[in-house]
Structure 1
């Protein structure tokens, strides 16, 4: 992960370091996308040596319980003497609580997880849940750092009896100058990492305009598309701006050869990030108007002259560019470029569908891949190929969310993982499935797409775990002692012969396992927008929106429905 330090982030890191090392607690408050979490995590990893400190991470949601919170912290503690616990001897502990004010209020107005943490602040511990006597456990040598957004939109006020224990620091929105510095530095790293061959000078010269135009798009979209009860996901923050540049990072000099192609790539990434979550044709037309105006103002280009093939699509699974533009040679593979040859796109998608159906132990799919369907395949493929990318596919039943994402997973050469619901399926079976999935992603190092739909939500606790995967890439307290032992043994076999990992002990191997899981497992949520459940879940589990790329499936157009009818009726002898 590329982190660009700014005055604001350095200030946050320095203040936090001083407070924690002087045994004080720190609370950072600010809007989503201001870099609170990434600054805190980065400082914990780099400013506190692992030989002297342990880090315990918590990510609260509306469903987080006090028991879950206590179990996560207790698991990292060791017994020091009768009734007294703490981090391993010789170490201090940092407990990082993200989204501190997300837990929902109980009937008396309290937040149980917050009240548990307040109990530690006031009394130095809590009662042992596992002992029959419920004896008091004193927890020593830990301090807390927390981050939260301002109250509202599912976030609550925390009690002053708890907040009084913290040094509270407000993290404001980045200034325009800071944003330009951050994203200019990111583009510099892209251009510097591609020196042979290098990007054309005309592309490098677009750097300032790419940055300023993306910031302008973000500001205009935020002003134009406000959240409402039916559009509660119309929330934009600086994570969305970074996703645009993350998409631009797919480019390389062979696939993006001139300034026009870079401008089209920029427009495509803006569409994928800002446009695809819009739920009405009117909103989408308004967005395209904003995009075209920005292109004209910033790049002095006319949309209709730049974009000659609609809809604008970029991907890497359709070979489109030939060496020296010589079509007699084989096209270059794995280049992120514009998909101008739509017949070739259709041919490759249909061939992949045939190969998918020939795979053993797969549910056969009889799909008609019209243009809109292939567009969603391209979108899903982009999400899967994005480092640590996750997706939220929203549409009514029968819109093709699961089928098209399954096909995109196959094209990307990832394993598809889905849970199978039976009448006896519960928390125990869920945890077993999660251990199996993480083992495949971490020990076996296989790319996995976890396809999870609202039909799988038998218990809201499942969504709590999914929220943690989206936010942290892991599920707290998932592994028992036997699982932990099996994972460490599997990791030893996995890294055998690699001198880089020769001297790693079990703790280091387990950390490597968790990092592999974060990199290899991608979550694809397939939810229906019908009913109150969808809006409630977005409100209660913020990572569903904040940590995903949203693809909203609109009703299929008439020509798509006609092509489906023609496909199924072509062999029918109608009078």
Structure 2
């Protein structure tokens, strides 16, 4: 099956939902996140590591199960041979490998000296492809003919407004907002889509401005930020209007790299607010250069409240006290000067790290304090900051072995029961294509193909089993409070403790990668 559609049409979401509904005892899912630097050998090694030997030259998943190879996205690998590309005869190596797999039911064993052909059984391929692929991104018809092609039509604005309205109404009902406030959820959803549309038209995407790719995902980020509203904010005209303006600025305004682009983005958000009278208070908030929401006022509390910073001087005192207390407890002195711009940047970074899969790209001149602010924001967000190299060697590219070691440390933290992890890296880390490929894999799936050696897999499985025990303990506590226990009696068929061999590692690694994807936050500074 091959799902084809525009970017943001929900191709990956459809497959993710389908994969989640499959019983883990009958299906083994391996996700391959393709990118421009994807190597065919990495694809083959990833799939081969999950298959068991069934015969002399036959391999497959454990008996009684099937292996589903999920490729996302076929249109991302590029063609290296320009001459063949102009002749229309070239295709990227990973795509040719997938074509061989679909056509002949396997591939050649590169590790063996005689390189015998490895036949596979009970393995199927599902994939996604962008409709905008062209030139060196075009998927050949020789590969497409092996799939059942299904077109995914992107939802229109009315569908997005309906979905976002339902989500906002659920949140406002949960926080016991008045009925007249809940009735305005549709207005806020419509205004969000209007703002995204106007900003997208004002800031067309170009090779020099890839950050101008504004779409439905940005509208979702705005709604996600509005959902952080607390029941202390009861005034729709001020509270919800201000937080809507703030989240629009964070999602649409902060991406701009020039004053001209920022002016256009602000004009689009303002025009969207003017189109809806109930957001009139947002106009004043948009003109306020110090508009800021944060949860750092409740730094030591478990129930943090996301609220507006009404007094910047008070916010500065709060952060300074937190830094001094942390330095005293650690036996260190932090000589940081929190001027107004630094306060604003720290709060914005913390906002990005507050949500699952939240990452940040900090742009500025050398020695402007980007890395210091990233470290501070990681601490304020209760995260462990991990850097691939020391401060003294930050301008020298680290070795791949050293880089992988630091990434493993970050993944062990993010995938376990401890606090989330923030992986900090700079321009020096982008000089190697292998490092860039690792970063893309982490952003896409939370894992790097073939990174864990055989002797290291036991550590990952222990981390996952510890997480499962903690989750089981939490469910038992819920049952003790009078929750229905019938659902708890149904054990999952794919319990990791009952699985063996490759199945055990695949199930553990899938859950581990999912946790890392949501709990590992990457900051380029």
Matching of residues 453-472 of structure 1 within 5 Å: 453-472=426-445
Secondary structure of the equivalent of 2:64?
Answer: coil
Which residue number in structure 2 is paired with residue 63 of structure 1?
A: 37
Quick check: 1:209 aligned with 2:187?
yes
Q: Is the 8 A contact 1:356 1:407 kept in 2?
A: no
- Alignment of 1:409 with 2:388, yes or no, is no
**SS at the partner of 1:166?**
coil
| Alignment partners' CA distance in 1, 2:74 and 2:218 | 22
Cα distance in 2 for partners of 1:515, 1:176 equals: 30
Normalised TM-score (structure 1): 0.79
SS at 1:340's partner residue? coil
Q: Tell me, yes or no, if structure 1 residue 32 matches structure 2 residue 17.
A: no
Cα shift at 1:233: 1.8
Q: Distance in 2 between matches of 1:282 and 1:458?
A: 30
Could you report, residue by residue, the CA deviation over 1:226-260 in whole angstroms, capped at 9, with x for unpaired residues?
12332122111211111111111111212454432
SS of the residue corresponding to residue 31 of structure 2 reads: strand
The 2-side partners of 1:433 and 1:303 are apart by: 44
Tell me the equivalent position of 1:560.
Answer: none
Selected match of 2:294 from 312, 315, 318: 315
Q: Does 287-296 or 201-210 show the bigger shift?
A: 287-296
Q: How does 1:113-512 map to 2 (within 5 A)?
A: 113-152=94-133, 156-194=137-175, 198-255=176-233, 257-300=235-278, 301=280, 303=282, 305=284, 309-318=288-297, 334-355=304-325, 357=327, 360=330, 366-420=335-389, 425-493=398-466, 495-496=468-469, 498-499=472-473, 504-505=496-497, 507=504, 508-512=507-511
Report if aligned partners of 2:75, 2:133 keep a CA contact under 8 Å in 1: no
1:72 aligns with 2:46: yes
Indicate the SS of the match to 2:297.
coil
> Could you tell me how far 1:390 is from its partner in structure 2?
1.5
The 8 Å contact of residues 191 and 276 in structure 2, kept in 1 or not, is answered as: yes
Name the CA distance, whole Å, in 2 between partners of 1:446 and 1:129: 41
Closer, same or farther in 2 for the Cα pair 1:270/1:67, shift >3 Å? same
Asked if structure 1 preserves the Cα contact closer than 8 Å seen for 2:80 and 2:92, the reply is yes
* CA shift for structure 1 position 452: 1.9
**Cα separation, 1, equivalents of 2:464 and 2:201:** 49
Cα displacement (A) at 1:211? 0.8
Three-state SS of the structure 2 residue aligned to 1:450 is strand
Distance of 1:155 and 1:257 partners within structure 2: 53
Checking the alignment, whether the CA contact within 8 Å between 2:445 and 2:513 is kept in structure 1 is no
Structure 2: distance between partners of 1:76 and 1:399 = 46
Distance 1:211 1:77, change over 3 A: same
Gap change, CA 1:97 and 1:398, over 3 Å in 2: same
- 1:86 touches 1:140 (CA, 8 Å); kept in 2? yes
Structure 2 CA distance for aligned equivalents of residues 453 and 424 of structure 1: 9
Would you say the 8 A contact 1:317–1:333 is kept in 2? Answer: no
Contact 2:360 2:522 in 1 (8 A): yes
Q: Which whole-Å deviations, capped at 9, do the CAs of 1:392-446 have from their partners, x for residues lacking one?
A: 2222322322111111111112111111167894333332222222112223432
Give the equivalent residue in structure 1 for 2:70. 96
Q: Give the number of equivalent residue pairs.
A: 487
Structure 1 residue 167: deviation in Å? Answer: 1.7
Contact kept, 8 Å, 2:417 with 2:467, in 1: the verdict is yes
Partner of 1:323: none
- Quote how far apart the aligned CAs of 1:84 are: 0.6
Gap change, CA 1:319 and 1:91, over 3 Å in 2: closer
Matched-pair contact (CA < 8 Å) for 1:352–1:407: no
- Partners in 2 of 1:408 and 1:512 — Cα distance? 27
List aligned pairs for 1:562-573, cutoff 5 A: none
Residues 417, 287 of structure 1: alpha-carbon distance in 2 compared, 3 angstrom cutoff: same
- Call closer, same or farther: CA 1:260–1:49 in 2, change over 3 Å: same
Seen in structure 2, the aligned counterparts of structure 1 residues 155 and 247 have a Cα distance that, compared at 3 Å, is farther
1:42 CA drift (Å): 0.8
- Structure 2 portions without partners, runs of 5+: 85-89, 477-490
Between 143-152 and 26-35, the greater mean CA deviation after superposition: 143-152
Cα distance, 1:490 vs structure 2: 4.0
- Out of 225-234 and 158-167, give the one that drifted further: 225-234
Aligned-CA RMSD value? 2.7
Give distance in 1, aligned partners of 2:45 and 2:72: 17
1:473-519 residue CA offsets vs partner (Å, 9 max, x unmatched): 22222212211112223444555574559964163554443333233
Deviation at 1:365, TM superposition (A): 6.0
SS where residue 522 of structure 1 aligns? strand
Please give the TM-score of this superposition, normalised by the length of structure 2: 0.86
CA distance in 2, matches of 1:294, 1:470: 31
Give me the whole-angstrom Cα distance separating, in 2, the residues matched to 1:154 and 1:462. Answer: 26
